[in-house]
Structure 1
């Protein structure tokens, strides 16, 4: 998980919200498409929670404050996030992110700067796990989002191995300048507006070596 800087909401959503009958459940397809495109753009096409790569065709629009209990926020752009499908269709114990969360309450949002999400997340590079020093939030990462599900842990470890192999390509100890260059590349957005999967996990690993 990594802090998300929200864009301005799409113009089509602004217009739709002026309709007295506007609701998320009745969101027109063109408005929903614009919404997905905007959320993907600001998140670099990675899931707001697990940071796996997502596309418009395989994502869910997540309400951080759930719709059932927060009807006034169902079309609030700042409450909306792009998430992966959370292993939908597989055994329920493997569900993650929005699919696992459902209507449960999550204390902190990656899209709320006041929540300082980057200071609350701890990446365990040896185990591939995501944790927090905040006991309650750490429990939420596991019980509500299931961010340490086996598949996600293995995917993080695989992504980290690629970074470690890149560091080992050059004989001898890599200079801080070399590491910073790789760090910047990990954080960069490519020509298609995409970030690397698990970029927060990877950047944290490199930052500790600079």
Structure 2
């Protein structure tokens, strides 16, 4: 999980809300917003094409809108507020087993402490070479392991993170001499952070790049 910087609200959402508010007896809520695909497009762009929680690849057709404050707990207008929206994956919904659900499908409407829109909640997150995600903060650890189920082996999350980490380690071994490896890692880290289309499991990659940079 990495911080997400919200961009300007898409015009299509502004127009949709104006239409609803101009229509007598219309209910202003997310379910009444027509043509939601351009909104998913905007969310996917600002997230670098990654699910806000598990960091798997998503696009406007394979994602849906998640509300940080659950719709069941929203005050009037909160469920159509762009700064309350994220794009997330399908949550492994086709797995046929509730224990295999991840991200918002596992979360349902439970409150979260961890929040990619609040970088301070992400600072204690760490990754292991086996692909597991964890946190020093007990509440965040519960969100990662239970509420969002981000160590779900049935969804291949640890396995796929491990593969990404191992590929990064191989790159570190072969890319540069010890004298220049820090510079190479900084360049790669900056490339990930600035990229419009980020690599899958970018959170784990950035974690290990930063760790290598700190070692000097």
TM-score scaled by length of structure 2: 0.87
Is residue 205 of structure 2 the alignment partner of residue 202 of structure 1?
yes
Alignment partner of 1:152 out of 147, 154, 157: 157
- The answer to whether the Cα contact below 8 Å between 2:69 and 2:111 also exists between their aligned partners in 1 is yes
Q: Kindly report the root-mean-square deviation, in angstroms, between the aligned alpha carbons of the 2 structures.
A: 1.7
The answer to whether the 8 A contact 2:54-2:201 is kept is yes
Measure, in 1, the Cα distance between the counterparts of 2:208 and 2:38: 34
Q: Provide the residue aligned with 1:40 in structure 2.
A: 44
User: Which stretch shows the higher mean deviation, 19-28 or 97-106?
Assistant: 19-28
Q: CA deviation at 1:152?
A: 0.4
Match of 1:53 among 54, 57, 74: 57
CA distance in 2, matches of 1:106, 1:187: 25
Unaligned runs of 5+ in 2: none
Shift of 1:71: 4.4
Q: What's 1:176 paired with?
A: 182
**Contact in 2 for aligned 1:3/1:118 (Cα 8 Å):** yes
> For residues 97-117 of structure 1, what are the alpha-carbon distances to aligned partners after superposition, in whole Å with 9 as ceiling and x for unaligned?
01111111112321135xx13
Q: CA deviation at 1:142?
A: 1.1
Q: Hey, what does 1:67 align to over in structure 2?
A: 71
Q: Aligned pairs, how many? A: 202
Q: Give the structure-1-normalised TM-score.
A: 0.89
Summarize deviations over 1:136-173 as a string: whole Å, max 9, x none.
22112111100111110001001111111112224753
SS at match of 1:209: helix
Contact 2:17 2:33 in 1 (8 A): no
Q: State the 4+ residue runs in structure 1 displaced beyond 4 angstroms.
A: none
